Structure formats: C-alpha cells, structure tokens
Amino acid sequence: MALIKQIWDQRKHILEGIANTVNKKEYIEKIAAERMSICSSCPLIDNEGNSCAMPGSAPCCSACGCKLAFKVRSLSSHCAHPDEKKWDVVLSDEEQDKLYEDINYNPDEPNTKD
C-alpha cells in the first residue's frame, strides 16, 4: 500500500517524464543524458529491477523506485539519493503548474478525449 501511495504522490512527475519520453525535445534529451550519466555511476542504480516500483522497469533508482528513463526526463524532479542529491530540479512545481495551465492540462482529471 505504501508503494501505491508513493506512486500516487509522484504522479505529476511520472506523467511529465512519460510525456517528455514520448514527445522528445532536444534540450530535455540533453538534460536527461547528463542526469543518466550521473545515475549510471551511482551505487543506487538498480539494473536488475529488484527495487523498481513497477516490475520490469529497470534500470531504476533504488532510492525512490522510479524508472530512470522517466525520472531523468522529469524536469520538476530531483535526484532521490538519501545522502546527497546528485542533480536538482530544472522546472519548479510552480513553473510546471503554469505550463499545465498554459496548455490547458490537468493531470488530476481523467482524459475524456477518445
């Protein structure tokens, strides 16, 4: 149950990472590559998937359980390393909310378009 709550609490960041994976932009890919380079040398990377929040989503971060392909592309996310953040937020929650407002998107409402 704690894992479901953790995923729910991070849903905006997860959706942002998924959207940025699907709709690739050069500047986001550059940030993602830099972040992934840092994560690749981190002892908390889980290449086997034993600590991934979603089975089959390796590589992931064993500190937070996030799939790294999405985590590194979420500009409003930071490194979850418990001792020292290896990289920080690029887009604040306020900037993210403003972006969602500008594009008329609410991640808390189900998509009713077919």
Mean pLDDT of 28-41: 96
Domain boundaries along the sequence of the chain:
2-102
The mean predicted confidence, pLDDT, of the chain is 86
Per-position DSSP letters for 38-51, written without gaps between them: HHHT-TTEESS-TT
Beta-carbon contacts of residue 7 (< 8 Å; ≥ 6 apart): 14, 53
Predicted local distance difference test score (pLDDT) of residue 96: 72
pLDDT of residue 11: 85
Instruction: Say what the pLDDT of residue 102 is.
Output: 65
pLDDT band at 114 (very low <50, low <70, confident <90, very high): very low
Instruction: Tell me: pLDDT of 81 over 70.
Output: yes
